[in-house]
Amino acid sequence: MQKAVEVLQAAQRPVIVAGGGVRWSQAAAAVVTLAEKLQIPVATSLNGKDTIPGSHSLSVGVVGTYSRGAANQVVSEADLVCFIGSETGGMTTHFWQVPTLGTRAIQIDIDPEALGRNYMLDAAVLGDAKVVVERMVARADAATAASRDGWVGRAREHVGSWYQQYNELLTSEVAPTRPERICNDLSKYLPDDAFVVVDTGHAGMWMGGMYDLRAPTQSYVRCAGHLGWAFPAAIGAQRGVPDRPVVCFTGDGGFLYHVAEIETAVRWNIPAVIVVNNNHSGNQSKRGYDAVYGGKQTERGQELWVWTDVNISKVADAFGAQGLRVEKPAEFAPALEKAIESRRPTIIDVVTDLDAEAPLAVS
């Protein structure tokens, strides 16, 4: 452990990558304290997204494949990566490109088989994330932080550039609604005790990159299964935290996997709020079809990924849930407020842009 502290303090451009083990260990506060004491930017995996609020000055976002460009840029430029509670898998590292193999690294993990599995390590610490990091905080010398002022400034430049690049889409008033706008409104309007559950696929890409937790009291859980996992998982999460608002973000494809669970939520009066990015398509596959068919979409070709346009709010109403239809961006925030305050099972059916594609990873 002492060696890990020494290596971390000696680095000029270190970055912390916080994984799901930080959540399981309830180590988020300790990780943020260590980062603040030594002035180290913090990236997270999808599983560790709620380690640090997006508004924190050291937060650079989610790294890897379903990610934010700013995080990938910072991790790529780092001279040392400190993985905490992360298995350093393909998604978190964008298939071991971020950071590249050979980058100096520290790894802290409770699983001995995870240590050094994918990266050669300058220091490895086997232990519970919270216990280890708290001890590292106690041993760390805050006087070394000043040497990293320039590096922290560089990280903030990357974050600022990312917001500037996507600001037009994050605040777009164009209808059908852009998914970036939904994520941005969730960042701004979810309560400080919100528990967010997110599907995989495009939903995971949108929220991983475009959504920011605003407070350390908010929670974020990404998909732990196949497409469609998030809706029934949100019902379970609401039973687990009955006094907190649970909000799920999924697409129409993922939602329709388990549409019958509306009845479950209604029968047991489970007031989870399900936000459906309804572009009546599986447009995450559009890039693949473009590549195969020369980039020219035809009406017949679209049959492969464009589906029947269904008013999902009416489906929700038919089951006895509260169905809310959002057809313009400005309608979403009021619908979200109504859904949360009603304490009823609610489906917010947001009509979104068929052609909106989540950004690909920056490596």
- Of the listed ranges 110-119, 280-289, 304-313, the least confidently predicted one is 280-289
Same fold for the domain at 2-159 and the one at 171-351? yes
Angle, nearest 10°, between helix axes 129-139 and 28-38? 30
pLDDT one-digit tens code per residue, 303-331: 888 999 999 999 999 999 999 999 999 99
Read off the pLDDT band of 215 (50, 70, 90).
very high
HEC letters along 241-283? CCCCCEEEEEEHHHHHHCCCHHHHHHHCCCCCEEEEEECCECH
Domain extents in the chain = 2-159, 171-351
* Distance (Å, whole) CA 185 – CA 237: 22
Q: For the stretch 236-268, what's the b/e string if a residue is b when 16 or more beta carbons lie within 10 angstroms of its beta carbon?
A: ebbeeeeebbbbbbbbbbbbbbbbebbeebbee
Q: How many residues does the chain have?
A: 363
Tokens of 285: 């596959």
The percentage of residues in the chain with a pLDDT greater than 90, rounded to a whole number, is 92
Architecture of the domain whose range is 2-159? 3-Layer(aba) Sandwich (3.40)
Residue 295: is its pLDDT beyond 80? no
Read off the pLDDT band of 299 (50, 70, 90).
confident
Residue 39: is its pLDDT beyond 90? yes
pLDDT one-digit tens code per residue, 246-273: 999 999 999 999 999 999 999 999 999 9
* Distance (Å, whole) CA 333 – CA 185: 7
- Of the listed ranges 122-131, 178-187, 281-290, 293-302, the least confidently predicted one is 293-302
Choosing among 1.20.1340.10, 3.40.50.970, 1.20.1260.10, 3.40.50.1820, the CATH entry for 171-351 is 3.40.50.970
Query: What is the amino acid identity at position 179?
Result: P
* Distance (Å, whole) CA 160 – CA 244: 32
DSSP 306: B
Residue 296: is its pLDDT beyond 80? no
Mean pLDDT of the chain: 96
Query: What is the H or E stretch that residue 109 is in?
Result: strand 105-109
pLDDT confidence of residue 127: 98
Q: What's the gap between Cα 321 and its chain centre?
A: 27
The percentage of residues in the chain with a pLDDT greater than 70, rounded to a whole number, is 100
* Distance (Å, whole) CA 232 – CA 264: 9
Task: Specify whether the CB–CB gap between 67 and 91 falls below 8 A.
Answer: no
* Distance (Å, whole) CA 8 – CA 16: 10
- With CA atoms as reference, report the closest residue to 109 among 99, 96, 101, 119: 119
Residue 363: is its pLDDT beyond 70? no
